[in-house]
């Protein structure tokens, strides 16, 4: 389980990845590497991380998410964190972590709407 890879889907210039309920340290680090590689390889304009299933974000996982967002931004892509569970949001606030530089959206659908050019067709 902890050795499972996180699949990254490509929708046009958008990369979409769904995290599972647990994010262990090793998987998180590998995922950050693989994602930045793919962002650079396809010239992605945006990355949507679906965290609907993710039950825990501790300070290590938060650090990785902020790093992913920073790396993507340096490569010219936006990162949208979609579907954070409300207990996770409450816990992050108490931990004192507000994920600087990371955009969020209520769901993957909201994230895709956010990325769609105004008046244009949806991304992907």
C-beta of 12 vs 87, nearer to other proteins: 87
Per CB under 8 A, 55 contacts other proteins: yes
Return the residue of 6, 11, 75, 97 that touches other proteins, per CB under 8 A.
Answer: 97
Residue 5 CA to residue 69 CA, distance in Å, equals: 19
**Contacts with 52 (C-beta within 8 Å, 6 or more apart), sequence order:** 18, 82, 83, 85, 107, 108
Nearest to 82 by CA among 103, 96, 101: 103
Per CB under 8 A, 65 contacts other proteins: no
Distances (CA, A) of 24 to 19, 28, 33, 41: 11, 6, 15, 26
Per CB under 8 A, 33 contacts other proteins: no
Residue 124 CA to residue 112 CA, distance in Å, equals: 8
Q: Which stretch binds other proteins (CB under 8 A): 42-50, 76-84, 88-96, 110-118?
A: 88-96
Q: Which stretch binds other proteins (CB under 8 A): 5-13, 35-43, 89-97, 105-113?
A: 89-97
Contacts with other proteins, residue ranges (CB under 8 A): 1-2, 22, 24-26, 55-60, 62-63, 66, 85-88, 90-91, 94-97
């Amino acid at each position: 389980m902890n050795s499972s890879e996180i699949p990254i889907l490509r929708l046009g210039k958008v990369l979409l990845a769904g995290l599972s309920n647990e994010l262990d340290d090793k998987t998180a680090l590998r995922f950050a590497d693989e994602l930045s590689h793919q962002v650079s390889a396809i010239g992605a304009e945006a990355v949507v991380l679906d965290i609907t299933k993710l039950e825990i974000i501790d300070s290590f996982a938060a650090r990785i998410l902020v790093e992913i967002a920073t790396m993507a931004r340096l490569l010219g892509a936006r990162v949208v964190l979609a579907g954070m569970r409300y207990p996770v949001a409450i816990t992050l606030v108490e931990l004192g972590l507000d994920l600087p530089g990371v955009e969020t959206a209520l769901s993957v659908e909201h994230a895709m709407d956010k990325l769609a050019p105004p008046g244009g067709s949806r991304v992907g």
